[in-house]
Structure 1
């Protein structure tokens, strides 16, 4: 079993891939925190193209890796937006840069979402092994 939270805490920055019309778009995103076994939280702004892409087509992939590429973690699932003030407060409390951007949890452009992880895969270049959680 892959310990998603342990890997994500160690390597919080990664690449989020979304649908962009008929194509795909990628951008750097930061993992915030996790709830349960399959809710991986992020935030964005409602006026960014990524927000429109996520609301139009919620199937996404997030990939992160350690500096030595061991492991590489890939998460696939659906992006689900939540308007939970306690989760937004948590993000503001734990991440000063997010607080600097949004100021308050009720900021209308502050959008929080989680990936409902349907599949998680790791790969180790050092060992040449793969793991998968359904």
Structure 2
């Protein structure tokens, strides 16, 4: 579990402003806009679209998982990005307490963040245990 805590801590550090890794890039820093970028700011539509793209990326990483530590790094990086978008969406929702759409997006983002973090931890724990596949790596893709 020690490595899992280390990886999750690294993910949380990334969410606070560190570099972002491109899934499949084995830790390479992404050149695209990140959640703090000018392209998203407080625009709820852009943040919602980014959350959806990140969730789709996560599903692709999980489905193509070979159980390598690089995959876990990618999953944890995506978890960090998803949780950063969640923070921004929920900050906006807090400023608009009467807006049901904003509150719903915040709840959706909170669920996505929790599932993404669980996927990261499950991958790392499976890797530490010598398993070739992450256990329950992404429950959100189950029917």
Query: If the length of structure 2 is used for normalisation, what is the TM-score?
Result: 0.30
Higher share of residues assigned strand? 1
Higher share of residues assigned helix? 2
